[in-house]
Copies of this chain bind each other. A is one copy, B any other.
């Protein structure tokens, strides 16, 4: 993409309304614009990042055996009355009345609807287990939306639902999601720590929030320091091997890690040596939860059991905040100059900077580099604008593409271009051919 044609409105000044760094940088880098309080439009570059995150989440769901579907945003109030949550949900639910005076709502989550769909079709234990998910916009009418996409009202979420014959089956499903989430967040370049979370009236211990440590997080968290070194990036496991899956879960739940909902200071101090205690704030990016027959009971989601008779299915739900992750990744990866994208979610891999757009030799070299990178399938943003080099460098650092390929007349005379790594700041002079080979590798 040529920057001269791209809709990328960057800002030099820090927007007054933004309190945290990811919000400031997303506005300044031209990724989003607020449409109403807590509701954002994603401009082309922001949308690219959102799509890449969504795709990684999708791939990991599919790998685990998830089947993607899509439920609508607008739901019927009657469905929520059936579960008893219509009255219980409170003012965060956006309630709507349609032209026929029917009560509707903008879905904040989908347990009711998926259970309703499932109960109409499932017949037998042979239809189990099932893992269904969708990636859809949700709405929660937060009283004070803030922190940009981190705590917006309209937000994109992946929510998955598991259906099993009994508790043991449901636990196997739960474990799969646990591992799937470790893999997903690791692929996104994030260190997300699974922390024991509240199970409410369901009881048991099958509820974990996946938390990224960050000072701007909404909840206080306590965990063992060894989580910082735990690496899920190369975690490979056969999801059909339930023992192998369980052992990964056991490994990642063996150390203390709890949010304020479940924190027990005495237990923390007894289980974790003083020099290993981390007490910080965290951002929730995922939540997995087993809730048994809480919804299958009221919706009559039953199947024929192997030994005859009908039993309600055991369910769990599994969320990932997709739009929130854009902010969370920036919170975890930036510096004073701007965003530092991990390559896997970067909107483009390379920023190609033409230092002198009125120099024919320089333009030819840049055009060729642009064409060659595109031919090699490398995503490249080409700054061909007629602006000062200083402004180009500042914008490149701000938008945070992993590599900057800088081409100017002086370097070309010497037969070199400059390749800069955004993450390390390291600059290398080399021939254009070497730079292209390195970027295309």
Chain B residues within an 8 Å CB radius of A139: 74
Question: In residues 230-244 of chain A, which contact B (Cβ within 8 Å)?
Answer: none
A167 nearest CB across to chain B (Å): 21
Once the chains bind, are B6 and A39 in contact (CB under 8 Å)? no
A75 interface residue per 8 A CB criterion: yes
A76 interface residue per 8 A CB criterion: yes
Once the chains bind, are B121 and A73 in contact (CB under 8 Å)? no
A50 interface residue per 8 A CB criterion: yes
CA distance A39 to B105 in the complex (A): 12
Once the chains bind, are A69 and B41 in contact (CB under 8 Å)? yes
Question: In residues 35-67 of chain A, which contact B (Cβ within 8 Å)?
Answer: 35-37, 39-44, 46-47, 50, 65, 67
Once the chains bind, are A72 and B9 in contact (CB under 8 Å)? no
A102 nearest CB across to chain B (Å): 8
A117 interface residue per 8 A CB criterion: yes
Chain B residues within an 8 Å CB radius of A94: 74, 96, 98
Give the oligomeric copy count. Answer: 2
Of the residues B41, B120, B141, B154, contact of A99 by C-beta under 8 Å: B141
CA distance A120 to B130 in the complex (A): 47
A176 nearest CB across to chain B (Å): 14
Chain A contact residues (Cβ within 8 angstroms of B): what range? Answer: 35 or more
Provided the pairs A33-B117, A99-B91, A99-B143 are in contact, do residues A72 and B7 lie with their beta carbons within 8 angstroms? no
CA distance A182 to B146 in the complex (A): 44
CA distance A333 to B33 in the complex (A): 42
Of the residues B41, B73, B143, contact of A71 by C-beta under 8 Å: B41
19 A-B residue pairings within 8 Å (CB atoms):
A5-B130, A6-B67, A7-B132, A35-B71, A35-B75, A35-B113, A36-B72, A36-B74, A41-B69, A41-B71, A43-B69, A43-B117, A44-B67, A46-B69, A91-B99, A92-B99, A94-B96, A94-B98, A96-B96
Chain A contact residues, CB within 8 Å of chain B: 1, 4-7, 9, 33, 35-37, 39-44, 46-47, 50, 65, 67-76, 91-92, 94, 96, 98-99, 102, 104, 106, 113, 116-117, 120-121, 126, 130, 132, 134, 137, 139, 141, 143, 153-154
